[in-house]
Amino acid sequence: MMQYSTKMKKKLFNFNIKKMKKYLFTYILGVLLLGLGTVSCTKEEIAGPTVKGFLNGTEVKELKVTLGTTINFKYDIQSSSKLSKVEVFVRKGIGLSTDSQLFLRKSAAAGELDGNTYTVQGSLVATTDLMISVGAVDSEGRITLLQLNAILEVSEFDDLIMMDAMENGTSKTFCSTPYGLLLFAANTAADPAAIDFGFIYMESDATVKASLVSFSDFGKTATYPIVGTNNVMQFKRALSYTNADAAGVQQLFASGTDFPSVLGIAAGRVAPNLKDGDVIAFKTQKGKYGLILVKLIDRKSEASSNQQTIKIKMVVQK
């Protein structure tokens, strides 16, 4: 290692100090210029139009509502430059069952926009979830998007047709309640936790006949060898059917009466020997309450096995 004398060390130290002083101002100036440059760029960035959204008079992005509620929506749009285009789309439904529709389209080119402000207003009846989106574009091409959601407390699905478990697995025997999905036996292996109940028909057993069975106990029906799931669904006989609100649905479960045990399945995990017009209250493994209305049981004169179907209407809490 090279050694320096005390005199040489002093000279090197003084040189480094002078060198640091020489470049210190340049360094500080560079930092300041960089900061000014950043600030300058920020100032040059002009935001797109400002959009405020209101549901039933309140500035919110999401509102929980009951079925049949009238939703009054409004968008107040302001822009630093003239507006070029405003579009509003309404998407209805949940999950895979959605339908997007154009509600309004205005453009400066068509003479429908003239200035820096515009207000969009409309009314819709919440028969399903509503997602109302606006897009505002100014004359510089800057875009602002805002979506408002009116979400029902419950989801309702009508005319769901389930079929008795066929040996080849080609029947839609199982149901996932959150989205009203009907599934084949093969679907249950991929995501068993998503399956809530299944349908069976036993024409030779008068205590069973048309029955809904919790997925946790479906293997006991001797149809499909389903084992090892604890996805329990509880059933009770309800006095009536309602789709009005979540509290009403839960109350009908609380006031319901127990179904009997059949096929070695514990009471509460099976709804046996159903008839047209019956109402079944349920509680899922995830704690969601719901109701099932039996609209029609096609018994096929009980002449053939694994061909019977049940048509239901279902409402479930979100």
pLDDT at 82: 95
* Per-residue confidence (pLDDT) for residue 143, from 0 to 100: 96
Rounded Cα distance, 22 and 144, in Å? 50
Please report the beta strands in the chain, taking only residues with DSSP state E, as ranges in sequence order: 50-55, 62-65, 70-78, 83-94, 97-107, 117-125, 130-138, 143-152, 154-163, 174-176, 181-183, 197-202, 209-214, 234-237, 270-271, 279-283, 289-298, 309-317
Whether the predicted model's global pTM rises above the 0.75 cut: no
On the 0-12 / 13-18 / 19+ scale of CB atoms within 10 A, 210 is: buried
The identity of residue 133, as a single letter, is S
pLDDT at 97: 61
- ∠ CA 297-307-222, nearest 5°, is 100
Q: What is the pLDDT of residue 96?
A: 58
- Report which DSSP code applies to 241: -
pLDDT averaged over 10-residue windows placed end to end, the chain, 318 residues: 45 44 42 39 70 97 92 97 96 74 93 94 92 96 96 92 88 93 87 91 92 94 76 96 92 97 95 98 97 96 82 95
The whole-number pLDDT of residue 34 equals 39
The backbone torsions φ and ψ at residue 100, rounded to the nearest 5 degrees and listed phi first, read -100, 130
3-state SS, residue 54: strand
Domains and CATH numbers, the chain: 50-152 (2.60.40.730), 154-317 (no CATH)
Tell me, what's the pLDDT at 188?
A: 84
- Max CA pair span of the chain: 114
